[in-house]
Chains A and B, each alone.
Chain A
Amino acid sequence: MTTTDLGATAEVSKGLDSPLEIAGVTFTSRLIVGTGKYTTNQIMVDAIRASGAEMVTVAVRRVDLDRTREEAILHHLSPEEFFLLANTAGCHTAEDAIRYARLARAAGFNEFVKLEVIGDEETLLPDVRATIEAAQTLADEGFKVMAYTNDDLITALRLEDVGCVAVMPLASPIGSGLGVVNPYFIREIKRRLEVPIIVDAGVGTASDACLTMEQGVDGVLMNTALAAAKDPVRMAHAMKAATVSGRLAFLAGRMKSREIAVPSSPKVGMLD
């Protein structure tokens, strides 16, 4: 590892941060990335490697039997190199999400699922009632459920109650790039829950990732911010650095802010 490496791996090995642990699995990177919407598979792989992420999300879809769409993601991403987190993206009911989660588990990689039940096509905001219902069923079936939700504390508490191993409130709507619209509620969710909090969706640029991590959450998940950047690989480097920056700034404990200026240099010893 080089001295210029800004990765979380380096921070963990230097004792500056602890690993992220989710349901007994440890990750040295606090950045989780999606695999969708990249212009080419090569850019996707290069960006994901640059991001330092160990956990990557994938979706479950029909095989295109006419071979008109691109091939399976696992031709490009090795399950030995990355921890696959299958999602239930696109599902609008608890029943559908449960079905997709079971299909994902049958692929045989792990018991984890990123549960996502969309409640509204325009905003892609979650149907929290259906999400809680699906989370309960899946947790009872032994799934390690990481639930995408809104920034509502009560929903987050219920998701923890039904057995989710991580709760993932949005920063802002999926694919919006609006950043953290409600840092206060993100902090409240982190303060009240025991399970890891991963902010999922809405991060647009590096400062958003940094600000997210400064709220004290355990990790951040993004897809479009990388895939839709003009240079996804360079943005992935930026996001890696920003995630580490925000995390370390949170752990370091920021100075008190105040409305008046205070000089940094001594007032005494000035020349006549």
Chain B
Amino acid sequence: MSSTEHIQVRLNGKDRDITFGHTVQSLLEAIEINPLAVVVELNKQILDRDRYSDFDIREGDMIEVVHFVGGG
């Protein structure tokens, strides 16, 4: 069994090891998030939804996945 290369990212405030080679799009799919139902910030830059596949996830990236919740 070959070992897959992992990188560490900070995802929604938690350190996570993920496999190398993800784009934002593929990462969202891997964690079962509907890309159309969220907004994604990569290193404090808000991404266009139709460009999630253009952004590669790199070691140390800070990713925030947000949505609307109840509030006043």
User: Given A36-B72, A103-B39, A174-B72, do A74 and B12 touch, yes or no (CB 8 Å)?
Assistant: no
15 CB contacts below 8 A, A to B, read A34-B72, A37-B70, A59-B72, A60-B67, A60-B68, A60-B69, A62-B12, A63-B67, A65-B31, A72-B67, A89-B72, A102-B46, A103-B46, A104-B39, A223-B72
Q: Is A271 at the interface (CB under 8 A from chain B)?
A: no
- A-B contacts counted at CB < 8 A amount to 92
With A74-B37, A89-B72, A104-B39 given, name 8 new contacts (CB 8 A).
A34-B70, A58-B68, A62-B65, A65-B14, A73-B68, A84-B68, A102-B46, A108-B49
User: Given A103-B39, A103-B41, do A44 and B46 touch, yes or no (CB 8 Å)?
Assistant: no
Q: Is B61 at the interface (CB under 8 A from chain A)?
A: no
User: Given A65-B12, A65-B31, do A106 and B39 touch, yes or no (CB 8 Å)?
Assistant: yes
Q: Is B7 at the interface (CB under 8 A from chain A)?
A: no
Q: Pick the contact of A107 from B64, B65, B68 — CB < 8 Å?
A: B68
Complex alpha-carbon distance, A73 and B71, angstroms: 9
Identity of the chain B residue whose Cβ is nearest the Cβ of A223 in the assembled complex: B72
B39, A62: Cβ atoms closer than 8 Å: no
Q: Is the interface of B mostly helix, strand, loop or mixed?
A: strand
Residues of chain B in range 45-72 having any CB-CB distance to chain A below 8 Å:
46, 49, 64-72
Q: Is A38 at the interface (CB under 8 A from chain B)?
A: yes
Identity of the chain A residue whose Cβ is nearest the Cβ of B16 in the assembled complex: A65
User: Given A63-B66, A72-B37, do A224 and B72 touch, yes or no (CB 8 Å)?
Assistant: yes
Q: Which residues from chain B contact A60 at a C-beta distance below 8 Å? A: 39, 66-69
Q: Is A215 at the interface (CB under 8 A from chain B)?
A: no
> Size class of B's contact patch?
20 to 34
Q: Which residues from chain B contact A107 at a C-beta distance below 8 Å? A: 39, 67-68
Q: Is A172 at the interface (CB under 8 A from chain B)?
A: no
User: Given A103-B39, A106-B46, do A86 and B68 touch, yes or no (CB 8 Å)?
Assistant: yes
Complex alpha-carbon distance, A190 and B66, angstroms: 36
Q: Which residues from chain B contact A9 at a C-beta distance below 8 Å? A: none
**B residues engaging A (CB < 8 A)?**
11-14, 31, 33, 37-39, 41, 44, 46, 49, 64-72
Q: Is A61 at the interface (CB under 8 A from chain B)?
A: yes
The distance from the CB of B65 to the nearest CB of chain A, in whole angstroms, is 5
The distance from the CB of B34 to the nearest CB of chain A, in whole angstroms, is 9
- 7 nearest A-B pairs in the assembled complex, by CB-CB distance: A59-B71, A223-B72, A34-B72, A35-B70, A58-B68, A36-B70, A36-B71
Q: Which residues from chain B contact A102 at a C-beta distance below 8 Å? A: 46
The distance from the CB of A59 to the nearest CB of chain B, in whole angstroms, is 3
Q: Which residues from chain B contact A106 at a C-beta distance below 8 Å? A: 39, 46, 49
Complex alpha-carbon distance, A197 and B46, angstroms: 32
A44, B72: Cβ atoms closer than 8 Å: no
A61, B69: Cβ atoms closer than 8 Å: yes
Q: Which residues from chain B contact A63 at a C-beta distance below 8 Å? A: 12, 33, 38, 65-67
B68, A74: Cβ atoms closer than 8 Å: yes
Q: Which residues from chain B contact A224 at a C-beta distance below 8 Å? A: 72
Identity of the chain B residue whose Cβ is nearest the Cβ of A41 in the assembled complex: B70
Q: Which residues from chain A contact B67 at a C-beta distance below 8 Å? A: 60-61, 63, 72-74, 107
Q: Is A29 at the interface (CB under 8 A from chain B)?
A: no
